[in-house]
Structure 1
Amino acid sequence: MTIAPRELLRAMFDAAVDAASPSLRIPAHLPPPPKGRTIVVGAGKASASMAKALEENWAGPLSGLIVTRDHHSVPCNRIEIVEAAHPVPDARGLKAAERIRAMVQGLGPDDLVLALISGGGSALLTLPAPGLTLEDKQAVNAALLRSGASIGEMNVVRKHLSAIKGGRLAAAAYPAQVITLVISDVPGDDPGLIASGPTIADPSTFADAAAVLQKYDITEPKSVIDHLRRAQEETPKVDDARLATARTTTIATPQLSLEAAAEVARKAGFTPLILGNALEGEARDVGRVMAGITRQTVEWAQPVRPPAVLLSGGETTVTIKGNGRGGRNVEFLLSLALELNGLPNVFALAADTDGVDGAEEIAGAIATPDTLARAAALGIDARASLANNDGHGFFEALNDQVITGPTRTNVNDFRAILITAVNQGTAKRPQ
């Protein structure tokens, strides 16, 4: 059976999202109920659906509190779900973080804290360190988002401005056992970077955090700079006795989702090639690199012979210089389309598995060989759109956006470049 390129791209993306569904991933990783109480806490875009899956598969009593992004909640019977702002934190997230920390304090060694953590938790679980305010954290978070800093760099700063991140939540729960179930949205799947690792020992330091702000010339608020300079009460390290009974399991990763998409491609008669699950860098630069690999495949049938699909994941960045609507997946896709310049037989999809690309309630978009021609017919200058960081506006005008609504999971960006045939005659093989 033949499937249209757009349909196959969307089927691969849907398979990638489904593979990271908490209802699928949670049950196999639940511990036995403890002798004492079970307290469930967590934060992230997938945390509410993780809580629901836990409830449906947990035999004993439990209670707790989860904070998730606006419009990402799901109804639970025993675990309270609250919503807060993302990506810039708000007072609702602060109040939830205060309550979560209070819930895990005063527990005993027979009690269990189940922490459900996923991407987006850094902004949602916001509790300023002593001497700092929510406004301080909002200002730094907004500056980092504009700067082009990597997720790893941002989280080093967040950990050192927080009273709950960087292992501090697990330390507060001691001597209870802490088991953390994580859905990874970071390159390399380092659990210490997911939601800024509230239950994970932190190897970074105040000096590392200060260096990140210096690198991106972030000098305000003064209270933040002074806090980092004082370097009081470092985050818990790997040898901290309060973390001795804490353990972590990563239950869903970008690689698992890419493999699920690859299987869909195989069944459709396309050879999949996973180029990497942890690609980083400026979105437009990654687009140019991927265009080069695509041309090699189209013209030389290398590194894989078409019909084929090039798959990748990770998290790119966008340094905002224009006044467009941003979005790292649409910026990648627009850059790719410009570099390919209408190359026949190439179709691509780039989208965030959580359904939100940047600050837009849009997952991403699809590009086709006629993308630039259709834009030109509408009077849209693709290069100007890219220079203005307006990928969302560009693909909206073409009606090529990928809109899913909240997926309630998050394993980072998904990129698929579908090559339906070798372009005969575009190049001659060397003798």
Structure 2
Amino acid sequence: MQEKAKSIFLSLLEFVDPSTGMPGILRWNSEKRVCSFYEQSFKIGTDRQIHVIGSGKAAPTMAAAAEQIFSDDLTGGIVIGPPDSKAGLNRIKLLQGTHPLPDEKSVEATEQLLNYIEDIPDGSFVFNLLSGGTSALLCKPSDPVTLQDLQQIYSLLLECGASIQEINTVRKTLSDVKGGKLLQRLKGKTVIDVVISDVPDDDLEAIGSGPTTAQTISFDEAISVAKKYGLDRKIPEKVWSYLLKKREEELKGSEKQSTKEIPDHFSHIISSALSVASEAEIMFGKQGFETFLVKPVWTGLIDDFEEHIWDTFQKVLKNRKSGTPLVLIFFGECTVNIKGDGKGGRNQELALRMALRLRELSNSTIFLSAGTDGIDGPTDVAGALVDNQTIDKAIAKGIDPYPYLSNNDSYHFFRKAGGHIRTGPTGNNVMDLQFLISV
């Protein structure tokens, strides 16, 4: 049963692969020079160029699909992907940044992308390929914020348990490209965002911190987030003074800072967590499972998510009438308030927590938690797969799970006990998936 769960997860990665999915959504008739995208069609004359820009974990595979779609009619492009990205591109240049924290590579790649955008003639069509991971890969700090400041603040935000919306609220105030600021550099062009969503509710303002989505940026709200998690005492003094100064200017004005929409700008989400979770329900159903797709998408603390999964499972078991194998499908992303100095990710930690829960069950029960990007935190695995015997088997080997859990060291627990799911970077990112299977 573990192999079946893993097999379905791997099949889902193929289902959401942009290299196979994008050509069916974004179509190009070279002879008529007409581009069709869902219900929209664009006539692109021979006097107008076609460019591709983009950033995110899925940018390389999306760029490969764009080259396949437009072929020789594509003028060129630049996309920024994660480390060790490979896509075999010809007309589009692939640059590499870093994730989850930006470094000099992200900054340098962003500068190259901005220079490329500046040289795109007005009247051109620009396809912007956007996916999760952009917040670190696309990086241009606002003056006087330095890269080192950003790295420290990003680390604080990722470790404090803040939600993705709260994290982005702060990020946007410290960037010259986030929060719709990249869009301002594309005036005079027709801009079409091709988006893979990795956030709850598919909020365009939140995906990659919304570089091409016009929106309001609030320094007052950013300061409130920082204070909520006690970061006002940890953020570099220079940056904190900057935020306070900008908030004062904001509160004196009649409205918050806003980025403006531009003419001829369109956005389409081509894949999301809900779409892949729904496909998981179909796949399990075809395998004879009684399926429960648990909505809505989850966002929140891992402690609450663990309780939510367990409580939902108990309710389903209580009302279960048949002996048919059942699966509960969860999707979304939880946040971990890191207190230890171990190595792990939210999926591995959630799997370890659930393994301790499953230990009390006698029926064969399996839990899988993995990221569709193939990267769980700062590790080389996508997540982990456990069952109701995982903990007893580990203890029999002399592996006590509790010290690993208290030290946020789930990676090394599974490295010793077994259970890692290893896919390598998938070139995609539509949040995380969890399967809870009872036979």
Q: Give TM-score scaled by structure 1 length.
A: 0.91
> Following the alignment from structure 2 to structure 1, what is the Cα–Cα distance between the partners of residues 414 and 296?
25
Larger CA deviation: 175-184 vs 291-300: 291-300
Please say which of residues 31-40 and 308-317 is displaced more in the overlay: 31-40
Q: Percent identity?
A: 33
User: Hey, what's the Cα distance between the residues in 1 that align with 2:399 and 2:310?
Assistant: 21
Q: Are 2:301 and 1:282 aligned?
A: yes
Q: Which residue of 1 is the match for residue 330 of structure 2?
A: 312
Q: Deviation digits for residues 239-281 of structure 1, max 9, x if unmatched?
A: x2x5232211000011111122112211111021110252022
Report the equivalent of 2:26: 29
Distance of 1:404 and 1:122 partners within structure 2: 23
Q: CA deviation at 1:134?
A: 1.0
CA contact 2:359–2:392 (8 Å) conserved in 1: no
Report the 3-state secondary structure (helix = DSSP H, G, I; strand = E; otherwise coil) of the residue aligned with 1:310: strand
- Paired residue for 1:341? 359
Rounded to whole Å, the distance in 2 between the matches of 1:43 and 1:414 is 23
Letter aligned with residue 228 of structure 1 = L
Q: Which moved more, 1:272-281 or 1:364-373?
A: 272-281
Q: Deviations over 1:272-311 (max 9, x none)?
A: 1110252022224312321222233334417x97411100
1:394 correspondence with 2:413: yes
> Structure 1: 5+ residue runs without aligned partners?
421-431
Is residue 2:11 matched to residue 1:20?
no
Structure with higher RCO (Cα < 8 A, 6+ apart) = 1
Corresponding residue of 2:345 = 327
Q: In the alignment, which residue of structure 1 is the partner of 2:61?
A: 49
Which residue matches 2:148? 135
Post-superposition shift, 1:109?
4.6
Distance, in Å, in 2 between the alignment partners of 1:235 and 1:206 is 9
Residue 65 of structure 1 contacts residue 100 of structure 1 at CA under 8 Å; is this kept in 2? yes
What's the secondary structure of 1:409's corresponding residue? Answer: coil
CA contact (8 A) 1:118 1:182 kept: yes
Taking structure 1 as reference, are residues 258 and 336 closer, same or farther at Cα in structure 2, changes over 3 Å only? same
> Is 1:210–2:223 an aligned residue pair?
yes
Q: Is residue 358–residue 387 contact of structure 2 (8 Å, CA) maintained in 1? A: no
CA distance in 2, matches of 1:177, 1:117: 16
CA apart distance, 1:391: 1.6
Determine which of 281, 285, 289 is the counterpart of 1:270. Answer: 289
What is the aligned counterpart of 2:162 among 149, 169, 173? 149
Native 8 Å contact 1:291 1:340 kept in 2: no
Q: What is the one-letter code of the residue matched to 1:20?
A: V
In 2: Cα distance, 1:176 partner to 1:376 partner: 61
Within-5 A mapping of 1:29-428: 29-30=26-27, 31=35, 32=42, 34-35=44-45, 36-59=48-71, 60-105=73-118, 107=120, 109-219=122-232, 220-231=235-246, 236-237=258-259, 240=260, 242-276=261-295, 278-301=297-320, 306-343=324-361, 344-420=363-439
- SS of the residue aligned with 1:178? strand
SS, match of residue 295 in structure 1? helix
Q: Give the letter aligned to residue 100 of structure 2.
A: P
Of 287-296 and 312-321, the range deviating more from structure 2 = 287-296
CA shift, 1:33, in A, is 6.5
Q: Could you tell me how far apart the structure 1 residues matched to 2:144 and 2:169 are? A: 19
Amino acid at match of 2:80: V
Deviation, structure 1 residue 107: 4.6
Is contact 1:84–1:124 with CA below 8 Å preserved after alignment?
A: yes
3-state secondary structure, aligned to 1:338: helix
CA contact (8 A) 1:297 1:305 kept: no
Local SS of the residue matching 2:188: coil
What value does the CA root-mean-square deviation take over the aligned residues? 1.9
SS at 1:367 equivalent: strand
Shift of 1:179: 0.8
What is the count of residue pairs matched by the alignment? 412
Moved more, 78-87 or 97-106: 97-106
Correspondence for 1:425: none
CA contact 1:298–1:306 (8 Å) conserved in 2: no
Counterpart CA distance in 2 for 1:377 and 1:33 is: 67
1:427: which partner in 2? none
Query: Counterpart of 1:350 in 2: which secondary structure?
Result: strand
Amino acid corresponding to residue 192 of structure 2 in structure 1: I
Q: Secondary structure at the match of 1:49?
A: helix
